[in-house]
């Protein structure tokens, strides 16, 4: 069900501002105090903020599927760009500085989802390679796209992406080929996540590999097994079923709501049987039918959640019996049940009978990397993150399912709840994409909310 239709990104409505001016005296004082460096780090989200351990929680840390503690907006991006330029000019006029060994270290910077910023993995890589690694974060692919499009390829050496987005980066000249010959740990990747099984890592009209796999998953349904029978749970109609009025929930993200309803509509009109069907490419007639479905659905819902913490609280209280989510809530409740901490039994439907939504997170090297030394370091970083032992940490401590086969290294409960035995299902999940007509989708969602 992998579609290869080209997509355009969502629009970025945020406006940027220029950086403030600073004097030589301010700059000198800022450098000596360290405040200037800290201000820059805060503005663009660099550094390695810590993640709480999941070991004592019986499950993964999954605040949001695409969660970042602080959204780095384009306003912040342009502000720090202006400030950095001013600092560069100021430092040039103040006079020469003595280069230290620390300053001479090679540095790579990556832009991605914050939950992948695992401090101990970064620290060990820095020690082995005598380099510096820093990171910036985003919440959605479209946000990362806008950052790179605004000149971020000069500021970030690697970017994470999922679904069709690596191909969009390649098409726009914002990333460059990844040399698989330099990734020794690729041999441990499940065959379901590399060509020819999974083609979205390869440029659309060529043979170059443009991304390396990282983790995968779906946007399935977690449901209360004592309230909802299996036959009702394994269909998208669950979210529109009158029997469960007042006990259903969906997210507030309009793309996923429209796409899921689109899969249901097109399953019944026969379009899902067509080659390269994509639920992000829908006709006006289909969108009109989806709008009616979503309007009727509103009276069945407890809420449209924006934070998974809110949904988890409502599910544990058995107010909400079923909702789409990225399986983190299911995983936490499952571990609590196994540990005897709750009597609540939940299950997760990764693939409804009509088809579902899914994703494969990847690493891309931006077009801003030109030096051979830095390009080599970028490949080392990707290969380091693919190392089985490191991916086992991502699986057990962070709670995302690696594209690497880590089953020999993780507990059986992790294998079960991370669907490591069901990697083939990625081919029945429609990959996250950008709507082909974002303005039309926004119009539909506005009508739904206003009804």
Does 242 share its domain with 303? yes
Among 103-107, 396-400, 443-447, name the one with the lowest average pLDDT.
Answer: 103-107
Q: Band of the pLDDT at 103, cuts 50, 70, 90?
A: low
Quick check: is 15 in a domain? no
Does 36 share its domain with 164? yes
Q: Given this model, what pLDDT does residue 249 score?
A: 98
Instruction: Tell me how many domains the chain contains.
Output: 2
Does 148 share its domain with 168? yes
Strand 212-218, strand 401-402: pairing? antiparallel
Q: Are 419 and 215 in contact (CB under 8 A)?
A: no
Domain extent, residue 268, equals 218-357+434-450
CATH of residue 256: 3.40.190.10
Quick check: is 260 in a domain? yes
Query: How many residues comprise the chain?
Result: 451
Euclidean distance between CA atoms 381 and 387, whole angstroms: 10
Q: Are 244 and 429 in contact (CB under 8 A)?
A: no
Does 258 share its domain with 158? no
Is the pLDDT at 156 greater than 90? The verdict is: yes
Q: pLDDT of 279-289, one tens digit each?
A: 999 999 999 99
Is the pLDDT at 8 greater than 50? The verdict is: no
Q: How far is CA 313 from CA 226, 247, 305, 329, in A?
A: 18, 13, 11, 10
> Residue 172 corresponds to which tokens in the numbers above?
């726009």
Q: pLDDT of 215-253, one tens digit each?
A: 999 999 999 999 999 999 999 999 999 999 999 999 999
> Residue 67 corresponds to which tokens in the numbers above?
């969660």
Does 189 share its domain with 281? no
Q: Which helix (H) or strand (E) holds 160?
A: strand 158-161
Q: How far is CA 218 from CA 184, 212, 345, 351, 395, in A?
A: 27, 19, 20, 8, 15
Short-list 237, 186, 180, CA closest to 207: 180
Euclidean distance between CA atoms 447 and 451, whole angstroms: 6
> End-to-end alpha-carbon separation of the chain, Å?
33
| Global pTM value | 0.76
Euclidean distance between CA atoms 168 and 161, whole angstroms: 10
Q: Are 145 and 169 in contact (CB under 8 A)?
A: yes
- Backbone torsion region of residue 257, taken as left when φ is above 0, otherwise alpha when ψ lies between -120 and 50, otherwise beta: alpha
Mean pLDDT (the chain) is 83
Does 230 share its domain with 211? no
Euclidean distance between CA atoms 40 and 35, whole angstroms: 9
- Positions of E strands within 270-386: 301-305, 322-325, 346-349, 356-366
């Amino acid at each position: 069900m992998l579609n290869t239709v080209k997509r355009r990104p969502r629009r970025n409505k945020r406006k940027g501002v220029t950086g403030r001016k600073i004097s030589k005296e301010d700059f000198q004082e800022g450098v000596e105090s360290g405040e200037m460096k800290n201000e820059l780090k805060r503005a663009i989200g660099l550094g390695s903020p810590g993640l709480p351990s999941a070991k004592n929680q019986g499950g993964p840390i999954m605040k949001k599927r695409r969660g970042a503690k602080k959204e780095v907006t384009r306003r912040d991006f342009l502000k720090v760009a202006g400030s950095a330029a001013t600092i560069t000019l100021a430092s040039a006029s103040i006079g020469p500085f003595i280069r230290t060994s620390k300053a001479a270290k090679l540095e790579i910077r990556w832009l991605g989802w914050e939950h992948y910023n695992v401090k101990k993995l970064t620290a060990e890589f820095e020690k082995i390679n005598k380099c510096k690694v820093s990171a910036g974060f985003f919440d959605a692919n479209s946000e990362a796209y806008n950052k790179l499009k605004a000149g971020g390829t000069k500021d970030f050496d690697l970017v994470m992406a999922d679904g069709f987005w690596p191909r969009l980066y390649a098409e726009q000249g914002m990333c460059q080929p990844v040399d698989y010959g330099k990734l020794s740990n690729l041999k441990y990747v499940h065959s379901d996540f590399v060509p020819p099984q999974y083609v979205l890592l390869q440029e659309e009209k060529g043979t170059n590999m443009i991304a390396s796999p990282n983790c995968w998953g779906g946007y399935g349904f977690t449901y209360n097994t004592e309230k909802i029978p299996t036959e009702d749970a394994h269909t998208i109609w669950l979210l529109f079923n009158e029997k469960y009025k007042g006990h259903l929930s969906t997210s507030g993200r309009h793309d996923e709501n429209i796409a899921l309803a689109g899969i249901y509509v097109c399953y019944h009109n026969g379009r899902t049987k067509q080659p390269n069907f994509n639920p992000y490419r829908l006709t006006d007639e289909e969108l009109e039918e989806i709008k009616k479905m979503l309007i009727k659905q509103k009276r069945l819902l407890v809420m449209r959640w924006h934070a998974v913490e809110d949904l988890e609280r409502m599910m544990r209280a058995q107010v909400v019996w079923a909702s789409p989510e990225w399986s983190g809530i299911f995983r936490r409740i499952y571990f609590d049940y196994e540990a005897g901490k709750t009597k609540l039994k939940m299950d997760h439907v990764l693939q409804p009978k009509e088809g579902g939504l899914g994703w494969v997170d990847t690493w891309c090297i931006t077009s801003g990397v030109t030096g051979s030394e830095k390009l080599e370091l970028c490949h080392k970083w990707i290969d380091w993150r693919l190392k089985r032992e490191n991916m086992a940490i991502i699986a057990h401590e962070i709670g995302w399912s690696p594209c690497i086969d880590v089953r020999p290294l993780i507990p059986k409960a992790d294998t079960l709840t991370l669907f490591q035995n069901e990697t083939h299902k990625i081919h029945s999940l429609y990959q996250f994409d950008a709507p082909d007509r974002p303005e039309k989708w926004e119009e539909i969602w506005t009508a739904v909310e206003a009804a």
